Structure 1
Amino acid sequence: MSERFVDARSWNYTPAELWADGIVHAVGLVLGVVAATALFIASLERFDLVGTMAVSTYAASLLLSLGLSATYNIWPVGRTKWLLRRFDHSAIYLLIAGTYTPFMIEAGTYRLMAVVWTVAVAGVALKLIRPGRYERLSIYLYLALGWSGVSALDVFIETLPRATLWLILAGGLVYTLGVIFHLWQTLRFHNPIWHGLVLVAASIHFAAVWICVTA
């Protein structure tokens, strides 16, 4: 299935849907900048260089994903939008890996971190080199990467705050729920609902990182 055909089905949004989606993205960007700045400052007080770099990696991946998603979704249909689509979908892999990074550094699960980042880089390459192909596979890969932390659950339980663990789980469930609305393209407002759930899940995971940093 070509990239052009994939997006041609999903860009027929009403003005109301576009406005709703724009508002969700605007809120996400503002909150993201404020949250990332506060988190970086907190990490300087709590962590050494490695810990601060881990938190910075997470913050950068969050802002990159929010920024690219906003740009891609509000950009008029055209050649540039096709290019932005590649970067937007690639950034999802980076966000997943970036979100896990502070937890994996804190828990010392370096093998898992190597696997997560290797898969994320491979996913980015797939999106950039073969855009519009393997769409279903990409969704499964997003979900598998997002839930890969289950493989080190025993270590996370021993090293991370209990509240952080519950928030990681809750955020993952909200992300997974959001996929249903992402795929439900016949539902009106499915796109702002999907992005709204992404924002909620990202906020929950931010809280998990915040507790891990400040505990």
Structure 2
Amino acid sequence: MTYKDMTISHEKEIFVFRIKDFWSAVTHFIGMVVAIIGMPILLIKAASYQASSLTMISFMIFMLSMILLYGASASYHSFHVSNHVDMILKKIDHSSIFILIAGSYTPICLTALKDTVGPMLLTMIWIIAIAGIVFKVFWVTCPKWVSSVMYSLMGWLCIMFLPQILSAVSVHAFMWLLAGGIAYTIGAVIYALKQKLLASKSFGNHEIFHCFVLLGSLCHYIFVLNYLTMFH
């Protein structure tokens, strides 16, 4: 892997700006840009269906959580400033995954499920997200499998309320929701693997993981855009 360094000295401190993890940075930078573009498209469509203020807010939370995740990840994988800054960016990167998961739950909880289990599920998922963030702040270097299990369990918590979900959305809508969950889960498994899936030095398991995260986000965006915008 090739690094480009630019050293800047400020009195006693020397900061080295080092471009790193090229494909990890690029994949999630693309995700951030697409999410920024996708946000007004979603909100405009929801407004055309005369969506309620609560629905609009839930969509904003969903898209902002996506932008945060991809922005934090792209930043962490783009530049090495110092070990201290790297650690801060890593904590933000890992914590934003919990925010994205909770943010992805928010639209369906405040639209299709708002009159049934939505408020309870939403409360549960954000409490778990906050607990996960605290966990990452204090132990961001935990084994990868621990992170993968935490993210996956949080993502699949909705299985507890599967009957309510199936009665609230169509089969086609549910398939997009399910596809997104499967994509995220495959990514989490690949992230935790110790064995390399590709021989490439620049595009390994972590980059594949990033691609599955992008796929999961796309599936859930389609789910929200095509099926939840009609709810008031």
TM bin (shorter chain): 0.7 to 0.9
Q: Distance in 2 between matches of 1:185 and 1:137?
A: 13
| Equivalent residue, structure 1, for 2:64 | 60
| TM-score between the two structures when normalised by the length of structure 2 | 0.80
Equivalences, count: 202
**Of the candidates 194, 205, 211, which is equivalent to residue 196 of structure 1?**
211
Counterpart amino acid of 1:144? L
Q: Matches of residues 1-215 of structure 1 in structure 2 within 5 Å? A: 14-15=1-2, 18-46=21-49, 47-76=51-80, 78-106=83-111, 107-108=113-114, 109-133=118-142, 136-187=145-196, 188=200, 189-215=204-230
Checking the alignment, whether the CA contact within 8 Å between 1:62 and 1:95 is kept in structure 2 is yes
The answer to whether the 8 A contact 1:143-1:176 is kept is: yes
Matched residues in 1 for 2:21 and 2:131: separation? 32
- Gapped regions of structure 2 (runs ≥ 5): 4-19
The more displaced of 34-43 and 126-135 is 126-135
State the one-letter code of the partner of 2:165.
Answer: F
User: 2: distance between equivalents of 1:45 and 1:139?
Assistant: 38
Specify the SS of the correspondent of 1:147: helix
Q: AA paired with 1:62?
A: M
- AA at the equivalent of 2:135: L
Residue aligning to 1:10: none
What is the Cα deviation at residue 134 of structure 1?
Answer: 6.4
Contact 1:163 1:211 (C-alpha < 8 Å) held by counterparts? no
Change (3 A) 1:37 1:185: farther
Identity %: 24
Maintained 8 Å contact 2:148/2:189 = no
Counterpart of 1:132 in 2: which secondary structure?
A: coil
- 1:200 deviation in Å? 1.0
Partner of 1:4: none
CA contact (8 A) 1:104 1:112 kept: yes
The answer to whether the 8 Å contact 2:29/2:71 transfers is: no
C-alpha separation between the residues in 2 aligned to 1:145 and 1:167? 18
Mean CA deviation greater in 121-130 or 80-89: 121-130
Give, in angstroms, the shift of residue 135 of structure 1: 5.0
Cα deviation, residue 167, structure 1: 0.7
| Matches of 1:151 and 1:200, distance apart in 2 | 24
- The answer (yes or no) to whether the contact 1:42–1:213 under 8 Å persists in 2 is no
Instruction: Say if 1:68 and 1:88, in contact at 8 Å, map to a contact too.
Output: yes
Cα deviation for residue 142 of structure 1 reads 0.9
CA distance in 2, matches of 1:141, 1:169: 18
Matches of 2:188 and 2:148 in 1, distance apart?
8
Normalized per residue, the structure richer in strand is: 2
